Structure 1
């Protein structure tokens, strides 16, 4: 018999940061499966965020230099390249997709940590929140999805709702509280999905991605593209994700 080490997981919390874990009713997430086109195809923008919106944006997760965020276009310019709406991080570095860590040592004076891989990083979330708040009538009443596969917590027995490729725990709280899980420690990932009660927009991320995707109105997307704290590009619902 193989004697594998036990992986310790903490009991599922009642609150995730300031967000409440909702095990009582998954109804608020039901609309995600009812939009035209279903939930969107796995591996597409609409499959990560949600289908049915008039416009979408891709928000890039920054690289770092000495702990400070670095834009992709800054890194690309250092290599003589440009960043487009569908550019992958390995293309910025000029390395093969099958060997994405070939350039992991960075470029002195430009970057020393790769683009953040996973759900929306706190520095991006902090810049997103004021923009999103301007485009919903219900910023104090929002819903969030957290992948039940994050390893620190034991979500067994907590109801989940499906998205393409993932099962999500439902959370609720104010939009500003989306960043509150960082107070729980290094491994408290931010939620993968965010949407307000009025469903004016939906934010989507994933553990395997270096971008966050937002569906909403053309006005919201224009606001995201113009935000100096974000590096964003317009995309379509059927565009592939990196």
Structure 2
């Protein structure tokens, strides 16, 4: 992934920005068809028969659930504009009587293994699969060296504090080494693609590169070794402008915009939980008009 200093290559897409909170507002208008891919949810199964001194339970199993699994267990309805705030409590998730628990979706991050799967459909849908532009939001703390890992250490208070401090300093050193200086400067000073409300750093990449889920490890994005990747492109398009992939930082779904054949392939891929939408579809938190709001929740809370 190579840093780009000429951001004018994104001007064509800026001219097609749609309304706020709408599909076209994050992926651009005027494409033949659109698909919405839902970001999967981390889930754990705990042993409810054992409770520790803090009220927690030992974890027996970890998994990744689809939204359909979460909805089905609660008798809720899946549909193209479903919102996670109607399927789970945004603070506490949902706990089930058999010990399964799920928490929150990942906003602004499309799992890199799913992005790799998506490239299988993106590559044949463009004449320029080796010439892609990736836009990454400059607000991620990793890009400026301000991202931090948190450590939970058991033991005496002094020993735990000293251990956390040592681990934190080592993590910060590793992060500094993994962040390319030119990317840090670009994050802080530009040039940026001035997407509405989002400043983007642009990179040159390819379908081949993104087809390997480990690409981020050597991209110089300031990721902390030993921790799962936390950054994926917010915008992605090929030089021939045939499609766009968009992961808005405040959304827990990714939009694919492009030709009918591409969208049909995305919708048919069982690895991707996807629904067809249109450019005017409302994907704000209030966009789910099928499932009722959860008790005590409002968009302003």
Q: TM-score range by the shorter chain?
A: 0.7 to 0.9
Residues 63-117 of structure 1: CA deviation (Å, up to 9, x unaligned) = 1234432111111111112210001012123x5xxxx224355674655343222
Decide which of 70, 77, 81 is 2:72's aligned counterpart.
Answer: 77
5+ residue gaps, structure 1, are 1-18
Q: What is the match of residue 10 of structure 2?
A: 29
Q: Distance in 2 between matches of 1:41 and 1:159?
A: 25
What is the alpha-carbon distance in structure 2 between the residues aligned to residue 189 and residue 41 of structure 1? 25
2:126 is aligned to 136
CA contact (8 A) 2:93 2:102 kept: no
Q: How many residues align?
A: 215
Q: How do 1:136-175 and structure 2 match up within 5 A?
A: 136-154=126-144, 155-175=187-207
Give the superposition deviation at 1:170. 0.8
Q: How does 1:1-242 map to 2 (within 5 A)?
A: 19-23=1-5, 25-35=6-16, 39-65=17-43, 66-93=61-88, 95=89, 100-105=90-95, 108=98, 110-154=100-144, 155-178=187-210, 179=213, 180-183=215-218, 184-185=223-224, 186=227, 188-242=230-284
- Higher helix proportion: 2
Q: Is the 8 A contact 2:94 2:101 kept in 1?
A: no
Question: Structure 2 regions of 5+ residues with no counterpart?
Answer: 44-60, 145-186, 285-301
Kindly report the root-mean-square deviation, in angstroms, between the aligned alpha carbons of the 2 structures.
Answer: 2.0
Contact 1:181 1:188 in 2 (8 A): no
Whole-Å Cα distance in 2 between the matches of residues 80 and 224 of structure 1? Answer: 26
Deviations 1:14-60 (A, max 9, x none): xxxxx11112x11211111233xxx1122111111122201111000
* Preserved contact between residue 20 and residue 172 of structure 1 (Cα < 8 Å): yes
SS in 2 for 1:153: helix
